[in-house]
């Protein structure tokens, strides 16, 4: 990922309308990456592509929800994985298991202790194009705006792709450690107030963030 500003002066950066907004003062900035050794990926397309390459190389993909790892009599060597396939419990014989269930990992492997903060982000469709630079920005409150405190935002421009036929940028606020991990990513509850703060902060620095597409909550 490109973090902060890469190869650009602040006037060229990210949110169109930002540079021309006379109320904005950029107090300081630093670069922390260049296109030669950093990139952004769309996680969904990236994962789908990796899976397709694995199949091409002979992997067999079984889709289901893992419910348990079964061990042999010594309680150590793995025997199989139990999973649900459309509500039916099935067993997959295995000697080696790689667990990548993100924050849900402890549910099937309780020895793993993972925190699961809730992320907050909104997706915005700008009215004009934008530069391809990721910006980590600490943005102070607008003089006459509704917010009182600085907000740290990670702003990611994304060109139109397989998922969106238009350009978007998404912006994330601070993580939230106060909520319990829900059963699935889809059931993470959106914190409307925090998402509105992100929106207000973005609007305070850009004339061009015309349209908020949606807001999202997700576990990290």
55 interacts with ligand FAD by CB under 6 A: no
- Is 81 within 8 Å of 69 (Cβ atoms)? yes
DSSP, res 143: T
Which of 139/172 has CB closer to ligand FAD? 172
State the nearest-atom distance from the C-beta of 50 to ligand FAD, in Å: 11
Q: CA–CA separation, 122 vs 204, rounded Å?
A: 15
State the nearest-atom distance from the C-beta of 101 to ligand FAD, in Å: 4
- CA nearest neighbour of 155 among 14, 33, 39, 11: 14
Q: Which residues, in sequence order, are CB contacts of 58 under 8 Å at separation 6+?
A: none
Which of 142/216 has CB closer to ligand FAD? 216
Pick out residues in 167-206 that bind ligand FAD (CB under 6 A): 172, 185
155 exposed, middle or buried (CB, 10 Å; 0-12, 13-18, 19+)?
A: buried
- Is 133 within 8 Å of 209 (Cβ atoms)? no
130 interacts with ligand FAD by CB under 6 A: no
Structure tokens at 133: 């630079």
Number of residues that bind ligand FAD (CB under 6 A): 14
State the nearest-atom distance from the C-beta of 40 to ligand FAD, in Å: 8
State the nearest-atom distance from the C-beta of 84 to ligand FAD, in Å: 8
142 interacts with ligand FAD by CB under 6 A: no
Which of 66/147 has CB closer to ligand FAD? 66
Helices (H) and strands (E) in the chain, counts: 3, 8
Pick out residues in 86-125 that bind ligand FAD (CB under 6 A): 100-102, 104, 108, 119, 121
What 3-state DSSP class applies to 213?
A: strand
Structure tokens at 211: 């349209």
Which of 42/207 has CB closer to ligand FAD? 42
Which residues here bind ligand FAD, judged by CB under 6 A?
1, 65-66, 100-102, 104, 108, 119, 121, 172, 185, 218, 220
């Amino acid at each position: 990922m490109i973090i902060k500003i890469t190869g650009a002066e602040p006037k060229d950066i990210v949110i169109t309308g930002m540079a021309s907004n006379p109320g904005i003062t950029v107090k300081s900035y630093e670069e922390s990456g260049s296109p030669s050794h950093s990139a952004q990926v769309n996680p969904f397309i990236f994962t789908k592509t990796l899976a397709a390459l694995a199949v091409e190389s002979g992997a067999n993909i079984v889709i289901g929800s893992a419910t348990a790892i079964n061990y042999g009599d010594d309680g150590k060597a793995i025997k199989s994985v139990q999973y649900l396939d459309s509500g039916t419990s099935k067993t997959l014989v295995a000697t080696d298991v790689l667990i990548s269930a993100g924050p849900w990992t402890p549910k099937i492997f309780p020895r793993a202790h993972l925190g699961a903060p809730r992320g907050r982000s909104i997706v915005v469709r700008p009215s004009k194009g934008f530069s391809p630079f990721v910006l980590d920005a600490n943005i102070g409150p607008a003089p006459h705006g509704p917010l009182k405190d600085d907000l740290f935002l990670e702003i990611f421009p994304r060109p139109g792709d397989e998922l969106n036929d238009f350009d978007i940028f998404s912006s994330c606020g601070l993580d939230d450690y106060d909520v319990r991990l829900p059963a699935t990513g889809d059931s993470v509850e959106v914190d409307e107030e925090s998402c509105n703060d992100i929106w207000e902060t973005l609007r305070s620095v850009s004339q061009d963030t015309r349209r908020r597409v949606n807001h999202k909550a997700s576990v990290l």
